[in-house]
Amino acid sequence: MFTYALLNENNICIGYSHLSGEVIDEKMVRMNDFDDELLYRKYVDGRWSDEKYETQSTALNSLRRKVARLISK
């Protein structure tokens, strides 16, 4: 099993993926051990930031709006 941190366009971790095979993608950072503390941290030059960031992903915000609309129906 391969575990990856998923990065948005600003290199901020917005989620995780557990896959059966290895993936080479600049927006997926392979993790040796799962660490949920990396969520909302920025990945720069092979290192994780100490501070957490508010996500500015337009895709994520769009998904949140869609979910909110579905819930309100």
- Span 46-72, pLDDT tens digits: 999 999 987 666 667 777 778 888 887
HSE toward the beta carbon, residue 68, CA cutoff 13 A = 6
Q: How many domains does the chain have?
A: 1
Is the full-model pTM beyond 0.75? Answer: no
Indicate left, alpha or beta for 14 from its phi (over 0: left) and psi (-120 to 50: alpha). Answer: alpha
CA distance 56 to 62: 11
Looking at residue 71, what DSSP letter applies?
H
Least confident of 6-15, 28-37, 49-58: 49-58
C-alpha dihedral, 28 to 30 to 33 to 36, nearest 10°: -10
Query: Which amino acid type is present at position 51?
Result: E
pLDDT attached to residue 57: 61
- Residue 57 belongs to what domain range? 2-72
